[in-house]
Amino acid sequence: MNAQMAQTIFAAAPVVKKRNSKEDQPTNYKSTNESLVKRNLMYKQQLVQASKTIEKLRDENVALRQRNQELMDTSDERKLELIVEQRVRSRLAHAAVLNKKLVKILQQTGSELTGLFKDFEPAEPSNLNSKRMPKLELSCLRRNRAPFQPVLFRASSIR
């Protein structure tokens, strides 16, 4: 008696077919191996970078311990000098960064302005006589008044 007959006779739960197992599915070993090799290389590179970072931090830790010991051994006057020196250095470094940014911005602005002025330059020289200065007149002055009138102040008007 096979399973189907037993099922029909005894009205048991239906027989479920087995799903394909890994052994039944064809595996592409080459692509799997390549992806594992790439992942392994990536992990090795991360390990090298982490090792460099750890070594750098260890060196910095040693230097900071030495500096801490030196600060503990020095006098108060020397400590103040070192603090002032450190603050001056940090402010100078900040000023240097600002200076670099300012120079970069000025250079960009200069190049933009030269580009703008090139657009305004005439392609051909004009035949106008440009040596003579234009005649300027001030229209805001009254001709019947003197240009300067003294102002008299009273003591009560000054507060």
Q: What is the pTM of this model?
A: 0.38
Spacing of C-alpha 103 from chain mean position: 18
Spacing of C-alpha 9 from chain mean position: 77
- Rounded mean pLDDT of 23-32? 69
Confidence of residue 11 (pLDDT cuts 50, 70, 90): low
- The answer to whether 6 touches 12, Cβ cutoff 8 Å, is yes
Residues 91 and 112 in one domain: yes
Backbone angles phi, psi at 6, to 5 degrees: -65, -35
Residues 69 and 41 in one domain: yes
Residue 82, classified by CB atoms within 10 Å of its CB into exposed (0-12), middle (13-18) or buried (19+), is middle
Please choose, from the candidates 108, 110, 107, 87, the residue with its C-alpha nearest in 3D space to the C-alpha of residue 95: 87
Tell me how far apart the alpha carbons of residues 14 and 134 are, in angstroms, rounded to a whole number.
108
User: Does residue 97 lie within any of the structural domains?
Assistant: yes
Query: How many domains does the structure of the chain reveal?
Result: 2
Report the greatest alpha carbon distance in the chain: 134
User: Does residue 22 lie within any of the structural domains?
Assistant: no
Domain of residue 106, residue span: 76-119
Mean pLDDT of the chain: 77
Model pLDDT for residues 43-95, shown as the tens digit of each residue: 999 999 999 999 999 999 999 999 889 888 888 898 889 889 999 999 999 99
